[in-house]
Structure 1
Amino acid sequence: MLLLIDNYDSFTYNLVHYFGELGADVNVVRNDAWDVQQAMGAGAQAIVLSPGPGTPQQSGICLALTLAAAEAQLPVFGVCLGQQTIGEAFGGTVVRHSEIVHGKMGVIHHNGTGVFRGLPSPLQATRYHSLVVDRDSLPDCLEITAWLEDGTIMGLRHKERLIEGVQFHPESIASEHGHQMIANFLEDAGVTLSPVEAAS
């Protein structure tokens, strides 16, 4: 089972739909409905941090939950605000980007690791954000996995834990290879999947 922390975002159920299409059982909980102990005790095989408005400091339990998951070696995947939360949880700084983007396609370059395994680089993906993890503030425990031409961070992963984030929206229908990114995370995290019936 996946525990998806909903940061009050309209994209949350697009993510749920994508995970469900791949056979994952998803339990959705709002970021202020549970405390960290409840979330860690839910029996999840992995945690997903949804997109959302605001900053990591305004994302309920997400910062503390990210650190608790790291301590317990529980996989985490963060999208948009979720990636920013991962960056800030481990000591990075989230800053306002020079360009506010809402539904803009971005050319994403990546290193082929983690969720980007087996995917072409660059690829096109949908961006909705005004904040980013500051490249100069990145702690040693995190590595950049994806970026824009100007160096803006579009993907991060922890060097020693299965904790990974993307700044763009793989669950947007306009993003390329979104299902495969999510499938790669599910495979890496060892999440139990139900058989998916082929569409007739």
Structure 2
Amino acid sequence: MLTFAAAVFFLIVTPGPGVLSTAGLGAAYGFRAGLRYVIGLFLGTNIVALAVISGVAAIVLSVPVIRTVLMIASVGYLIYLASRIAFAGSKLAFIEAKAPPAVLAGIALQAINPKAYAVNTTLFAGFAFAPDNLAFETIAKLLIVNAIWIPIHLGWLWAGASLHKLNLSETNQRRINYLMAASMLFVVALALYSGLKQT
């Protein structure tokens, strides 16, 4: 069980679309606005976990066309989120983003996030610690994952929001937003590279 908990920690804490977008939204919009997004991520990651546990994800993702569509949707959505973070507070009319992404945005990201499926598949298909009682093991794993997931994401949100609270100059705030957005785009590039290697 401790090995499983350690695996959960390291798989979740590493920068991926969820934690990077959480920190980015915290930096761009503050803690309270980012919290609504984290609630969406939380719901979304549990929906993905249930899809993996039930086998629905394996069936759906076994179709190459669906995998490709999800990858394209994921990349497109991450680029969209990166642009919202980069241009938060911008006065340019065509890119102004007054309202931060909220609950539905978090759910949508997890639903198309390749890392969410990979992490949940790794965690729920491996690391057996109660092979004679699958129901107990599955419930215990869900509780452990959420007990670790919540503070990690709140920590990333707090880190981003701490930058937001510093009341930096508009130029410095814009630089931070650009840096957060660039980090997300780097993840997009890695996802694309990984996806192309598998085809």
Bigger Rg, structure 1 or 2: 2
Q: TM-score, normalised by structure 2?
A: 0.24
**Structure-1-length-normalised TM-score:** 0.24
Q: Which has the higher contact order (CA 8 A, sep 6+)?
A: 2
More helix as a share of residues = 2
Relative to total residues, which structure has the larger strand share, 1 or 2? 1
